[in-house]
Structure 1
Amino acid sequence: MSEVKIVATLTPFPEHIAAIRKAAQTMVPLTHQEAGCLQYDLHESRAIADVRELANEGAVSFVFIERWKSEEDLVKHVAMPYHDDFLEILDGKLESLNVQRLTAL
């Protein structure tokens, strides 16, 4: 089976940034314990309106960079009870949720 790479970007409404940050941070140690987890890193990002001015003044997002041993391992992760709890916390608090599968070129 081949490795699966995922990037998930969560952009909360401004009033929910702290709650989403806390919930996202809770996911990291739980997910690191999963046998199929190769990488599960959380980053906080700020949108940059103009690449010539690299000020961190834009919207806050949380970015998960994930690597899984196999598709089966990713499916197991999504089925974890704490993953369901996380999705429940996110409900109604996000401006956007973007999940992408990466393929190396």
Structure 2
Amino acid sequence: MSEVKIVATLTPLPEFIDTIRDAALAMVSPTHREAGCLQYDLHESHAVPDVRNLENKGKVSFVFIERWKSEEDLKQHVAMSYHDDFLDILSGKLENLNVQRLTEL
């Protein structure tokens, strides 16, 4: 089976930034213990409204960069009870959720 790569970006509503940060951080440790997890990194992102001025002034997002040994391993991850709990916490608190599957060229 081939490796699966995912980038998931969560953009919280401003009043829920700390709640989403805490919930996202809580996902990292248990996910790293999953047998099929090759990479599960969390980053905080600040949009750059003007590429000529690279100061971090824009919206806050949280970005997961994930690599899984196989499709089955990814399916097992999203079936974990703590993943369901995480989705429950996110409910109604995000401006946007964007999950992308990457294919290397």
Q: Which TM-score band (shorter chain)?
A: over 0.9
Task: Name the counterpart of 1:40.
Answer: 40
Aligned 1:8-87 pairs, distance under 5 A: 8-87=8-87
Displacement, 1:52?
A: 1.0
Deviations 1:70-92 (A, max 9, x none): 00000000000000000000000
- In the superposition, the TM-score normalised over structure 1's length comes to 1.00
What is the count of residue pairs matched by the alignment? 105
Where in structure 1 are there 5+ consecutive unaligned residues? none
Q: Which amino acid aligns with 1:60?
A: V
Structure 1 moving runs of 4+ over 2 Å: none
Identity of aligned residues (%): 77
The 3-state SS of whatever aligns with 1:25 is: helix
Q: Following the alignment from structure 1 to structure 2, what is the Cα–Cα distance between the partners of residues 100 and 29?
A: 22
- In the superposition, the TM-score normalised over structure 2's length comes to 1.00
Question: In angstroms, what is the RMSD of aligned CA positions?
Answer: 0.3
The 3-state SS of whatever aligns with 2:66 is: strand
Task: Name the counterpart of 1:6.
Answer: 6
